[in-house]
């Protein structure tokens, strides 16, 4: 089922929403648009170029972050020691795997939260840390 890339957990993360309300908001959410093939007809949907979005959000790392797939709620947390939430601006955050030095897509973040100890990257990083500690 197609859905708007700016919709997450009842909030709209569109740059137009953030511009109007100062942060992601539930105000413009209309599930008739957000969860349908017609999401691009919503007045809050934008097809601004990536560079415009990053400039508006003040992000220098445009080659690493694509906001529609990387924005997460700022209260997300994982027990994984390699999981990091980076705040871009108030109520706008992205997550990052410090081991891989990569930003994590919103669809993968749930796995980092629920199954972090089964993650192959967590296991490799833990083994690497343990190995480097054993050398000292």
pLDDT attached to residue 95:
92
31 band by pLDDT with thresholds 50, 70 and 90:
very high
Indicate whether 71 and 95 sit together in one domain. yes
Whether 28 and 95 share a structural domain: no
- State whether 41 and 76 are in the same domain: no
What is the spatial distance between Cα 59 and Cα 62, in angstroms, rounded to a whole number? 6
Nearest-angstrom CA–CA distance, 69 and 53: 13
Q: Give the residue, 57 or 127, on which the prediction is more confident.
A: 127
Residue 53 maps to a domain: no
pLDDT digits (tens, 9 = 90+) for 33-89: 999 988 989 999 887 544 555 555 444 544 578 878 888 889 999 999 999 999 887
As a whole number of angstroms, the distance between CA 46 and CA 53 comes to: 10
CA end-to-end span of the chain:
53
Q: Establish if 129 belongs to a structural domain.
A: yes
Helices (H), 35-99: 50-57, 67-70
CA distances from 132 to 9, 67, 79, 117 (A): 40, 35, 22, 20
- Predicted confidence (pLDDT) per residue in 86-120, tens digit: 988 777 889 998 888 889 988 889 889 999 998 88
| Token pair 């967590």: residue | 122
Same domain, 72 and 126: yes
Task: Give the number of domains in the chain.
Answer: 2
Residue 90 lies in a domain: yes
Pair (83, 127) in one structural domain: yes
Query: In which domain, by residue range, is 39 found?
Result: 1-47
- Are 97 and 107 in contact by the 8 Å Cβ rule? The answer is no
Q: Exposed, middle or buried, 89 (CB in 10 Å: 0-12/13-18/19+)? A: middle
Whether residues 130 and 72 fall in one domain: yes
């Amino acid at each position: 089922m197609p859905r708007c890339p700016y919709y997450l957990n009842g909030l709209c993360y569109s740059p137009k929403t953030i511009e109007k309300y100062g942060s992601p908001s539930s105000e413009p959410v209309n599930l008739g648009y957000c969860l349908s093939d017609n999401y691009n007809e919503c007045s809050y949907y934008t097809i601004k170029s990536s560079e415009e979005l990053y400039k508006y959000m003040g992000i220098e790392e445009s080659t690493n972050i694509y906001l529609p797939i990387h924005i997460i709620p700022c209260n997300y947390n994982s027990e994984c020691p390699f999981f990091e939430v980076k705040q871009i601006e108030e109520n706008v955050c992205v997550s990052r795997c410090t081991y891989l030095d990569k930003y994590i897509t919103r669809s993968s973040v749930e796995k980092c939260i629920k199954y972090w100890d089964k993650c192959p990257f967590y296991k490799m990083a833990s083994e690497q840390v343990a190995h480097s500690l054993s050398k000292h």
